[in-house]
Amino acid sequence: MDLHGMLMQISLIGVIISTIVAITAAEAAQAKPGCDYMCGDVKIPFPFGLTDGCYLNRNFHITCENNVTAKTGGLTVKSISIEDHELRVLNFVARRCYNKTGGLVDGIKTSFKTPRYTISNTKNKFTVVGCDTYAYLTGTQKGENYSIGCMSLCNSLLNVVNGSCSGVGCCEVEVPDGLKYIKIKVRSYDNHIDVWGFNPCGYAFVAEQGQFDFNSAYLKNLTYKNLPMVLEWAIGKETCEKAAQNKTAFACKRNSYCQDLETTSGYRCKCEQGYQGNPYLPDGCQDINECEDPNLNSCTIAKNCVNTPGSYSCRCPKWHHGSGRKDGEGCEANLLLLFKIAIGIGISFITMLVGSTWLYLIVKKRKLISLKEKFFKQNGGLILEQLRRQEGSTETTKIFTEEELQKATNNYNESRIIGQGGFGTVYKGVLPNTRVVAIKKSKTIDQSQIQQFINEVFVLSQINHRNVVKLLGCCLETPVPLLVYEFITNDTLFKHLHHKSNTSVMLWQIRLKIAAETAEALAYLHSEASTPIIHRDVKSTNILLDDKYTAKVSDFGASKLVPLDQTQLATMVQGTLGYLDPEYLLTSQLTEKSDVYSFGVVLVELLTGEEALSFSRSEQERSVAMHFLCSLKEERLFDVLDDHIVEEGNKEQLKEVAELAKSCLRVKGEERPTMKDVAMELAGIRKMEMHPWVDVGGTLEETENLLGETSGAYKHSSSSKTTGYDSMNNHELLALGDGR
């Protein structure tokens, strides 16, 4: 170590030693000069003392057992306060214990008697613990007997609340003021016979507030033998006026004043304002240097503070006059020149401030405009505008400004959130024309796929199907683009099927209607849209319902646009557990049959009323689709169907839809029907309901003549399509919960 390092260490050690010496000196100054001031870790300030000549009188004698434990009147002293005139002592806990037949096992009474101390009524509480316990506290107050009681009952531990002493297992009351003698007795109504298994004893004690925290375990065994109690002390029995007549015996020394007590005899000494220390020692109250601590003085200029005995004064700088205090008139300049200079400086400063603020706002505004233009270009705004001009459509895809959507969502207030998930957050917004919309704020976007993302936005905005949530436009002025959809009012199919808060039960015809409309929407996306679209995340949370229970397919954050010259493509596996196509999961080859499988799971949800995947169910029933197929194979279909729809009596329809769901859930995609076939089949099943004269048990030929080519048309279909890119990057397996 070099010389400089050694000097630094020596200096640091010196500072530490000086601090320790200063603290020790301050503690020693509280005791009478030449007297011991410590017993163990308890400081003994005057008028208390350990040996003859070191205390004011015998009432303040503290014994020190084994040079470790401070005691007064048999009580262990934990601390003594001169400023608050208090002692903290350890007080015994009274108890009374019984055996299971009600016989008394042992008991301890406690009493406290001393003419020199008063039990603090503001710092202590009388507490009783037990389930068949009451206790008395008797004492003397102003020379007369005084009694209070507290009762604690409970039949079991069920109603006992930890930390609560309201009468169940524990009760507490305030201690009256002025008590110098107390006796505590613990009693029981039924000798704890009914509660002996968990509460064989009753306890009572006076303890300092905050030092006892009730716990139900204490009913079995209260581990405390004693607890802290606060005592108040005073000098003698005389008033200040009478005690001051005998100047030699008067305890209040220089720079202190005397204070009478209201509820007990004697007086106390306090240091006068501006002084601190021990008022019972001749030079105990020392002047406080207010100038050393800015919190103790109100001088307008700290360096102009002047300490005086018991106070301080504040000076004003040259050419100024006044009190120099913040709470007074302060300091005022004497010369008009100084006033003019100050005015000139102030005007110059304000001019500079206004000018710099104006320049800052202009620069900030230009930067903001530049940043928005950067985001607009970065997010494909120019590409979108070019597509709109090429298609001759200027209104299909509206481009919103950032300010419009901030205002619509009240600056994206949390109260406007209607959905959150892996892809981002959906907010409810109100446009200036009062139209309610859903605004999707995604988490990230892959900059390498901006062209594909813009193509997807453009195509989706042109989809106009009554069962597909309409994409109204987007905002490209933000780091991540925002999408604006029409707002659907009646929440998701998932919540209607699975949330307990829904008091109404969804009828089978409504479920069948939702299934048929959802199938029509997916068939439209697969077969009739200008660019075929695979949704890739079909599930009940992405099927929204309006007030008439019309189904609306939503959340195209995971969707894929399908080039017309391709049928399948390797993609990153994405979707929601419980709905994922097992073939897609194994091969990563996405086709439109993946949507068919997911739709099959939705059909099973509609039939059973159970969630697609629930880890609260047994392993065999965890996947509702697998459990459904197993039950169907074992001819136990009606055991797994929702009781409400079975009771409606549409058993033939239920069987038809169950078989359709089974075909959608086939492991091999080529064996599943197309969504168009599924939609036609569901439409046919609905027609059966609308024409009750159809004989379901009749010939297949009659049924086909009535329904057209609907039933069975899917059995040999294997057409499939897929996509060529991901429009949104950083997808997660669990998709956004509410796709509006």
151 CB-near residues (< 8 Å, 6+ apart):
128, 133, 134, 167, 171
614 CB-near residues (< 8 Å, 6+ apart):
622, 624
Per the listing, tokens 């729809």 go with 645
Q: Domain ranges in the chain?
A: 86-233, 377-486, 493-707
Q: What Rg value do the Cα atoms of the chain yield, rounded?
A: 43
As its CATH architecture, domain 86-233 has: Sandwich (2.60)
CA distance 248 to 694: 121
CA distance 660 to 23: 88
Q: What is the per-residue pLDDT for 517? A: 96
Dihedral sign of CA atoms 172, 177, 180, 183 in order: negative
CA distance 484 to 433: 15
Angle between helices 592-608 and 675-690 (to 10 degrees): 30
CATH 3.30.200.20 for domain 377-486, yes or no, is: yes
Q: Which of 2, 106, 132, 537 is catalytic?
A: 537
Q: What is the per-residue pLDDT for 332? A: 78
Tokens matching residue 559: 């969707």
Three-state DSSP state, 184: strand
* 546 is an active site residue: no
CB 41 within 8 A of CB 73: no
Per-residue pLDDT reduced to its tens digit, 242-258: 999 998 899 999 999 99
Element (H, E) at 596: helix 592-608
> Phi-psi bin for 335: left (phi > 0), alpha (psi -120 to 50), beta?
beta
CATH, range 493-707: 1.10.510.10
Q: What is the per-residue pLDDT for 710? A: 36
- CA-wise closest residue to 689 among 441, 458, 511, 449: 511
For the chain, residues with pLDDT lower than 70 are 1-8, 10-29, 334-338, 368-397, 421-423, 443-456, 458-459, 500-504, 557-572, 689-740
Sheet of 124-129, strands arranged across: 104-108, 94-98, 201-208, 124-129, 170-174
Dihedral sign of CA atoms 552, 583, 713, 638 in order: negative
Q: What is the per-residue pLDDT for 444? A: 66
Q: What is the per-residue pLDDT for 146? A: 87
